[in-house]
Structure 1
Amino acid sequence: MSSDEPGDPDDPAEAGALLYRTALALLARREHTRLELAAKLARHGAGAGIIAAVLDRLQAEQLLSEQRFAEVYAATRFDRGYGPLRLRAELRERGVSEAIVSDILAGFDAQWTARLAALARRRFGPQPPKDARERAQRTAFLRGRGFTGEQIARLMRRDPGDD
């Protein structure tokens, strides 16, 4: 067997090394949560014990970080116009702890109003809603983006010239 060929995948040490290299390749593409990476590694047929050991090693080496994932993910989604409710749900769905989610979202507290106003202006223009139907449509869209009812209500009460 040449040194370029993989060893015996039934050997636990070799299986762990192969899984570790696979995990590194995935992390080289983008940040992952432990939950996401575990699911991807499980598709390679590895047992839960080997996966847990690989993930523990990656965390110890600071190559796998829930905090880093959450920061990158939240910043990207924030820039695309998603609000705090949506970001919280998406981060929790990906396995990020509530403590980290709360910490990350708190960093955006001063920016939600401006982000919401920019999104509404880009989507609907500078004019306020003409009637109750249009107001309901705008509210539904903004709620779907993850903004709170309170944030949306404040936006709807503002004058278009407040920006």
Structure 2
Amino acid sequence: MSEFDRNVIIDTITRMLARREHSVLEIEQKLRQKGVPESDFMPVVQEFVDNDIQSNLRYAEARTRAMASRGSGPVKIRGDLRQRGVDEADIERALDEADVDWYQLAFEVKCKKYGGALAQDYAQRMKQMQFLKYRGFAMVHIEYAVQGD
């Protein structure tokens, strides 16, 4: 690899990280799409990780905040982070450190879609529960939201 190629890779990664946090997997995928050989970019990506310029934990924390602010629950967030190559320890830490009351968020998401009143019948309650499950909430959060406790 020439010095120019290395500088182009460094510049590309720097521009990506300047916009928002990215997971290592996302960076690797984007560099592959640009046609950069893996043997050329892997050492550079590792330097970014070693120097704490790129951090999967920071990425997980930012992604958790963003998804929670859009009404996603912890189950959905966990799955999303796994797909993006974040390890379980970083996922758990990001979810634990998130300043989110998952019970309250589930209730707010339910109220936004269905209003604050309790479901009148079994079918309506199941519909609300399915909606919250789709949004990625755990069953304890869903039960809290639909029972109005």
Q: Structure 2 residue aligned with 1:94, among 73, 84, 89?
A: 84
- The unaligned stretches of length 5 or more in structure 1 are 1-10
1:70-101 Cα offsets, whole Å, 9 max, x none, are 11110011111110100000011111110010
User: 2:64 aligns to what SS in structure 1?
Assistant: helix
1:105-141 Cα offsets, whole Å, 9 max, x none, are 1224861111111111121111101111111111111
Structure with bigger gyration radius: 1
Report matched runs for 1:36-75 at 5 Å: 36-75=26-65
> Which amino acid in the other structure matches residue 155 of structure 1?
A
Q: Which residue of 2 aligns with 1:5?
A: none
Seq. identity, %: 28
1:146 paired to 2:109: no
Which runs of 4 or more aligned residues in structure 1 lie more than 6 Å from their structure 2 counterparts after TM superposition?
none
> Which amino acid in the other structure matches residue 71 of structure 1?
E
Which whole-Å CA distance do the structure 2 matches of 1:54 and 1:18 have between them? Answer: 11
Q: Do the aligned partners of residues 109 and 132 (structure 1) sit closer, same or farther apart at CA in structure 2, a change above 3 Å counting?
A: farther
Query: 1:63, CA displacement in angstroms?
Result: 1.6
TM-score relative to the length of structure 2: 0.92
Q: Compare relative contact order (CA 8 Å, sep 6+) and give the higher one, 1 or 2.
A: 2
RMSD between superposed Cα atoms in Å:
1.6
Deviates more, 1:64-73 or 1:145-154: 145-154
1:115 paired to 2:105: yes
Q: How many pairs are equivalent?
A: 149
